[in-house]
Chain A
Amino acid sequence: MSEAISVLGGARFTGAIEITEAGLQGMISLRGDLADAALRAAVTSATGADMPDVRRITFGDTGQVAWMSPDELLLLVDYARADAVVADLSAALANKHHMAANVSDARAMFRLHGTGAREVLAKGAPVDLSPQAFGIGDLRRTRIGQLAAAFWMTDAETFEVVCFRSVGEFLFDWLCVAAEEGSLPEFL
């Protein structure tokens, strides 16, 4: 496992905001009946987080749970735990129709930190990112420029952004341009 590397090896950029490639991040795609009690219990047991509402993300001691679609969650756990969590979920839901897949390696994740983080994203995402419309725990799947991406807010000045691994470098480059010093519109 020591040989595992994230797409940009934790690259950082400091401009109008701080951008960090989040490194290896465990991610599990879980599809199933989100109303099912066994599924909810298994999710909470894996992450310590409650079941999120629509387009929300919840935070627990051992992970985060992101609502991705009416029948899909994304669980964020330690990279090293991902396979074990998949196994636990599969065991807990053995007699339920579901799918749990480790997608940790299929993604790149970035952390955007700074008061201008909203505006950096608003340069590429057709989303109302004003504080009135988007806050901590809100999640949005959309596009950033030409790329499919999902992002959510973990605190008042921090976003986490995920995209496919193959375009992680492209998104990082894009974010660095969008976060150029002196380039924020100061509108939001």
Chain B
Amino acid sequence: MTRLASGGLLIDLSETRSFTFNGQRYTAQAGDTLASALLANGQKLVGRSFKYHRPRGIMASGAEEPNALVNMGEGARFEPNQRTTTTEVFDGLMARSQNHWPTLDFDIGAINNRLPRFFPAGFYYKTFMKPRWAWKHLFEPVIRQSAGLGAVPTDPDADHYEYFYAYVDILIVGGGMAGIAAALEAGRAGAKVLLMEQTPHLGGRALVDGVEIDGQAAVDWIEAAKAELETMENVTIRTRMMGSGVFDHSYAMGYERLTDHAPETAGPRHRLWRIRAKRILTATGALERPLAFAGNDLPGVMLASAVRDYATLYGVAAGRRIVVVTNNDDAYRTAITLKQAGLEVPLILDARPQASGSLPEQARALGIRVETGKGIATVKGYKTVKAVGICDQADTGTVLETIPCDIVAMSGGWSPVVHLWSHCGGKLDWNADNAMFAPDPTRPPLGDDGLGFVLSAGTASGELHATAALQNAVQAARQAVEETGFAPVPDTPPMATAPTEEPMQPVWSMPAKAPYKLRAKSWLDFQNDVKVSDIRLAAQEGYESVEHTKRYTTIGMATDQGKLSNVNGLAVLADALNAPIPQVGTTTFRPPYTPISLGAIAGEARGKLFKPTRKSPMDAWHDSNGAVWEPVADWRRPYTYLRDDETVQQAVTREILNTRGGVSMLDASTLGKILVKGPDAAKFLDLIYTNMMSSLKPGKCRYGLMCNENGFLFDDGVVARLSEDTFLCHTTSGGSDRVHAWMEEWLQTEWWDFKVYTANLTEQYAQIAVVGPKARKVLEALGGMDVSSDALPFMGFAEGTLAGIKARAFRISFSGELSYEIAVPAAQGQAFWDKIAAAGAEFGIMPYGTEALHVMRAEKGFIMIGDETDGTVIPQDLNLGWAVSKKKTDFIGKRAMERPFLQRDDRKQLVGLLTENPADVLPDGAHAVEGGKNRYGQENMIGHVTSTYFSPTLGHSIAMALIKGGAGRMGEVLTFPCEGKVIRATVVDPVFYDKEGERQNV
């Protein structure tokens, strides 16, 4: 154990936790992260890098960690690529290291490390080009085998997830001293505030940086501030919640991890907050940058701030003998902290020519050796740091002295976390003093009012010193308070004090004149294995854009999205291109800030809540009577009803023959039913439909077609005129919402002077079709309504009661048989269905599904929207010219039909097809060819099959097709090359059965 005697602000030494790593059992303290617990147990090697399988250890202490990713859990709770630094240890936690085989210590893949010249920048693009066959048979299988870091989960996720919509005045992201101070300002002013912090605790870096606020230690001030905030009704603090993204019009997402630290707790695992805030404050702090020296990826080379965090927050010594290497004063805090904790700090290497600030002086006073103008030439060791070779920073890397150590704590300066500022278009300025990009407050992301809606606060603004950072945060909060319509409370703002710091000095390469041999071992992107040499090679090969270089070298493309590598990488690129850094610019920051679970993105929409399924009032009956379901738009409808050990085909055949020969019943409730009422209803429907509806007599039905302004057919159905000013328009099952919206669109946006109201009554009614020669007998048995051909003729309807239920019966037919479609209130649909089934029993009634419906309509040559239409078909193509009025001066689509190309007689037109072999059923969509090749060397195609079935009624196959100039091809034999064979079919009239329509009109 490497637990220190002092420190450990966040851990509870009285409570232990037990976890396993690679099967080995370890003990942690309550409050530990997995990373701090592994370090406390001396486990430095935790994974392997992506490309070279280099040994990798923990580098950071937070969300920016590139290396220490693990496979977590097992079975239905397995998840790869979990950052140990943001994972809280709980009892029973199971973690496994990634990207190695067979073991972490002995990894065959590390052979890649011996062959780095085969894996330069852009190696994927350069390597897998030739020979061509090798891609499919050699390269791709091998790449697939080795791609990815963690393993893919195999079981369905045991947890569930949800969204939550929240509306606040001011959203504050980040619970460090800046966020807390801002929350105090905004909260006291009365604004509704949500403060979110990604870690389990508040305080940020103030806890470890020796900051004092208003004369108190930061930790005490934060406790007091938190207590005050908790008394405010208008302020909410959420920890374990990351500000994951900022989007247009002041929309933000928060990723709340509810049970990751306690997996057996009830409730959702993650909650994705969808927040609309009037103003967003990004108090997101800053991240420390690594230094690029040879061997900087070895386990044991860590960020200086992380080494300090582990000591102060978790009481963990990452090592016993720590060399600090830096280009700034802040890293001296680490040296001081460690020295005071009783660890050995043999040396601070400062790349700057001198270090005379108060922190360096304090370090010297503690007896720590400080070497200025020096850097690291090499790191010795393989799986862990053994020593460093030091050199002059200005030189080429000649080793002056070798210092044994087990940890290198490095600091290359700090970069404000500008992700959230930038997600929605906030612009950045290059700050040369600190060699960093920081938000430009004059160019914030703009909201719907054209004003900036994001303000950066604290260190995230680029104010790296505590005093200025806190002042900045208060200022930002006051601005947000005013901009959201509140008055700032005139109080004395909190004052932070911390030792002054001397300027840092940018160091993009250590030593400055590092030769190739060193550059090729100087890592920039630790997860994706991108080194200084790779960026320089890319520049040499002509890559000038940082976005292109990113993709070519894969820098910043790993799961950490370049949090540590971004600035270092583009500085190296700028240097190689001899261009100033701001001119090279940054890559685009995109949400989420760190990876979020797919479950959180899906929210509740999993399993049976994945997508709404619309169900008819008789759905439960169908389900328990053998229904084989078919999705029809958002509905589910019975395709057929299976009996005993029938096949689906046998069931469909039975249903068809029973309908044609006796009587069957169909649940037609899904058909759209739009009520159209008003003095101008007839005039309106004359414009909506291609045919004349104003001439329809009350009590009668008429089949109608709807086209769009392009003249293309998009819906059809039977219109019933209920009274002089009221029509009921039936639509396709999938079209009811669309048609209703279509009618409202025209009424609201074009003909708003028309006196017409519409209502979508689709779901008010259960509609049941009773179909077949014996249909009338069944209705007579139900009783209550005269259903004779005189009282209720074909294309008429009648209202009354049937079997005691209020009903409207339509004499319409989609099968060509005697047919009644009866609408009853949906709540009585099941009762009515049962009554029909009972009354029809003596006539052999049975339900039929959508497939029998389809076959029977095809036998009659009736078109189906979506089969015979595809958005490019006009009614005339389908022999439906009779339903396109020539008398009307206008209807939607009429002008378009005047276009010459819609009047050509070689358009694809609907025909019937009879195959030479009656048993051959053409495949759906099969193309007819007419010999010869087109200019692409393909067969000349003249059309395709739109509907195709075996007709049990006729005993042979039938098909409909859209064929070029089809009307003029009757009797012609067409050729359909199908998989494995050629089917020949004769062009015939598409009405295959009962051409005169005698059966339906009895």
Q: Direct contact between A and B in the complex (CB less than 8 angstroms)?
A: yes
Residues of A with Cβ closer than 8 Å to B?
1, 3-7, 24, 29, 31-32, 71, 97-99, 101-107, 119, 122-130, 133, 145-147, 164-167, 169-170, 173-174, 177-178, 180-183, 185, 187
For the complex formed, measure the closest distance between the CB of B89 and the CB atoms of chain A, giving whole angstroms: 23
What CA separation (Å) do A31 and B759 show in the bound complex? 9
**B830 and A5 contacting across the interface, CB-CB below 8 Å:** yes
Q: Chain A contact residues: over half helix, strand or loop, or mixed?
A: loop
State whether A185 and B761 are in contact (beta carbons under 8 Å apart), knowing that A147-B612, A174-B604 are contacts in the complex.
Answer: no
Asked if B617 contacts A182 (CB within 8 A), the reply is no
Give the distance to chain B from A4, nearest Cβ to Cβ, in Å.
Answer: 4
Indicate if the CB atoms of B827 and A183 lie closer than 8 Å. no
A167 near B614 (CB under 8 angstroms)? yes
Q: Which of B635, B755, B828 has the largest number of chain A CB atoms within 10 A? A: B828
Which chain B positions have C-beta within 8 A of A128?
Answer: 165, 167, 276
Place the interface of chain B in its size category. Answer: 35 or more
Minimum CB distance partner of A132 in chain B: B192
Chain B residues with CB under 8 Å of A183's CB are 162, 266-268
Contact between B609 and A145, CB atoms less than 8 A apart = yes
Chain A residues within an 8 Å CB radius of B604 = 123-124, 145, 174, 177-178
Residue among A6, A106, A147, A180 making CB contact with B761, cutoff 8 Å: A106
Query: Which residues of B lie under 8 Å from residue A4 when comparing CB positions?
Result: 825, 827-828, 831
Q: List chain A residues, Cβ under 8 A from B828.
A: 1, 3-5, 105
Say yes or no: is B53 at the interface (Cβ < 8 Å to chain A). no
| CB-defined contacts of B679 to chain A, threshold 8 Å | 97
Question: Can you give 29 contacting A-B residue pairs, CB < 8 Å?
Answer: A4-B828, A24-B827, A97-B755, A97-B757, A99-B759, A105-B765, A122-B165, A123-B163, A123-B165, A124-B163, A127-B165, A128-B165, A128-B167, A133-B167, A164-B763, A165-B826, A166-B614, A166-B763, A167-B612, A170-B613, A173-B608, A174-B609, A177-B160, A178-B162, A180-B266, A182-B266, A183-B268, A185-B164, A187-B166
Cβ-neighbour of A146 out of B611, B675, B831 (below 8 A): B611
Q: Is the beta-carbon distance between B165 and A146 smaller than 8 angstroms?
A: no
Q: Residues of B contacting A107 with CB < 8 Å? A: 763
Q: B486 to chain A: closest CB distance in Å?
A: 14
Is B11 close to A, CB under 8 A? no
Tell me whether B764 is interfacial, beta carbon within 8 Å.
yes
Interface string of B816-838 (1 = CB under 8 A from A): 00000000011110110000000
Sample of 14 further A-B pairs with CB below 8 A, known A101-B761, A106-B761: A5-B830, A97-B757, A105-B826, A105-B828, A106-B764, A122-B166, A123-B164, A125-B165, A126-B165, A129-B165, A166-B614, A166-B763, A177-B160, A177-B162
Q: Beyond A4-B827, A97-B755, A166-B616, is A103–B160 a contact (Cβ under 8 Å)?
A: no
Chain B residues with Cβ below 8 Å from A130 are: 167, 192
Report A-chain residues with C-beta under 8 Å of the C-beta of B762: 106
CB neighbours of A29 from chain B (8 A): 759
Cβ–Cβ < 8 Å partners of B759 in chain A: 29, 31, 99, 101, 103
Report the separation of the CA atoms of residues A23 and B678 in the bound assembly, to the nearest whole angstrom: 32
Known: A5-B830, A31-B759, A122-B165. A180 touches B613 (CB 8 A): no
Q: Is the CB of A6 within 8 A of B162?
A: no
Residues on the B chain within 8 Å of A127, using CB: 165
Q: Which residues of A contact B274 (CB under 8 A)?
A: 126
Q: Would B612 and A123 count as touching, CB distance under 8 A?
A: no
Chain B residues contacting A99 (CB-CB under 8 Å) are 675, 677-678, 757-759
B897 within 8 A of A: no
Q: Is B468 among interface residues, defined by CB-CB distance under 8 A?
A: no
In the complex formed, the residue of A with least CB distance to B160 is: A177
With both beta carbons as reference points, the residue of chain B lying nearest to A170 in the complex is identified as B612
Chain B stretch 908-944: residues in CB contact (< 8 A) with chain A: none
Contacts of A182 in B (CB 8 A): 265-267
**Interchain pairs with CB closer than 8 A, number:** 135
Query: A167 — which chain B residues lie within 8 A by C-beta?
Result: 612-615
CB distance from B870 to the nearest CB of A (A): 27
Residue numbers in A under 8 Å from B160 (CB-CB): 177
Q: How far is the CB of A122 from chain B (nearest CB, A)?
A: 5
CB distance from B622 to the nearest CB of A (A): 13
Chain B residues near A102 (CB, 8 Å)? 764, 825
Question: Chain B residues with Cβ under 8 A from A125's Cβ?
Answer: 165
Which of chain A's residues have a CB closer than 8 A to the CB of B635?
A: 166
Which residue of chain A has the shortest Cβ distance to B830 in the bound complex? A5
A170 touches B164 (CB 8 A): no
Which residues of B are in contact with A by a Cβ distance under 8 Å? 160, 162-167, 192, 194, 236, 265-268, 271, 274, 276, 603-605, 608-609, 611-617, 635, 675, 677-679, 755, 757-759, 761-765, 805, 825-828, 830-831
- Most chain B CB within 10 A, of A101, A165, A180, is at A165
Chain B hits for A169, CB < 8 A: 615
Bound CA span A102–B160, Å = 39
Q: What distance in Å separates the Cβ of B251 from its nearest Cβ neighbour in chain A? A: 10
Q: A180–B267 Cα gap in the complex (Å)?
A: 7
Which residues of chain A have C-beta atoms less than 8 A from B608's C-beta?
170, 173
Measured between beta carbons, the chain B residues less than 8 angstroms from A145 are 603-605, 609
- Decide: B827 and A146 in contact? CB cutoff 8 A: no
- Tell me the nearest residue of chain B to A177, going by C-beta: B604
B residues in contact with A164, CB < 8 Å = 614, 763
Closest Cβ of chain A to B190, distance in Å, is 12
Give the CA-CA distance A7 to B162 in the complex, in Å.
Answer: 26
| A128–B609 alpha-carbon span in the complex (Å) | 23
| Pick from B166, B167, B764: contact of A103, CB under 8 Å | B764
Contacting pair A173 B609 (CB below 8 A):
yes
Most buried by B among A24, A32, A174: A174
Residue of B with least CB distance to A4: B827
Residues of B within 8 A of A187 (CB): 164, 166, 194, 236
CB distance from B237 to the nearest CB of A (A): 11
Answer whether A98 and B757 are a contact pair too, CB < 8 Å, given A3-B831, A164-B763, A170-B609: yes
| Inter-subunit contact B825/A105 (CB<8 Å) | yes
Residue with the greatest number of chain B CB neighbours at <10 A, chosen from A29, A31, A98, A106: A106
Instruction: Report Cα–Cα, A41/B349, bound state, in Å.
Output: 88
List the A residue with the shortest CB-CB distance to B763.
A106
CA distance A99 to B605 in the complex (A): 37
Chain A residues with CB below 8 A from B758, complex form:
99
Shortest beta-carbon contacts, A-B, top 5: A3-B831, A166-B614, A105-B826, A128-B167, A4-B827
Complex contacts, B675 vs chain A, CB 8 Å: 99, 101
Is the CB–CB distance between B609 and A177 below 8 Å? yes
A96 to B272, CA, bound (A): 50
Contacts of A147 in B (CB 8 A): 612
Contact A103 B165 (CB under 8 A): no
Beta-carbon contact of B761 and A103 below 8 Å: yes
Chain A residues closer than 8 Å to B612, beta-carbon distance: 146-147, 167, 170
> Roughly how many angstroms separate A119 CA and B268 CA in the complex, as a whole number?
14
* Minimum CB–CB distance for B671 against chain A, Å: 13
Task: Name the CB-closest residue of A to B194.
Answer: A187
- Closest A residue by C-beta to B635: A166
CB closest residue in chain B, given A126: B165
Checking B613, B678, B827 against A97 with a beta-carbon cut-off of 8 angstroms, the contacting residue is: B678
Kindly name the residue among B192, B271, B609 whose own CB sees the greatest number of chain A CB atoms within 10 A. Answer: B609
A98 and chain B: residue at smallest CB distance: B757
Chain B residues whose C-beta falls within 8 Å of the C-beta of A185 in the assembled complex: 164, 271
What is the CB-to-nearest-CB distance from A66 to chain B, in angstroms, rounded to a whole number? 15
For B265, what are the chain A residues with a Cβ–Cβ distance below 8 Å? 182
Residue from B267, B761, B765, B827 whose CB has the most chain A CB atoms within 10 Å: B827
Report the minimum CB–CB distance from A2 to chain B (whole Å). Answer: 9
Closest CB in chain A relative to B505 CB, distance in Å: 46
Do the beta carbons of A146 and B830 come within 8 Å of each other? no
Measured CA separation A63–B609 after assembly (Å): 33
Q: How far is the CB of B795 from chain A (nearest CB, A)?
A: 24
Q: List chain A residues, Cβ under 8 A from B266.
A: 180-183
Measured CB to CB, the closest approach of chain A to B822, in angstroms, equals 15
Does B166 contact A106, Cβ atoms closer than 8 Å? Answer: no
Contact between A146 and B763, CB atoms less than 8 A apart: no
Max count, chain B CB within 10 A of own CB: residue among A3, A6, A125: A3
In the complex, what's the smallest C-beta–C-beta distance from B187 to chain A, in angstroms? Answer: 15
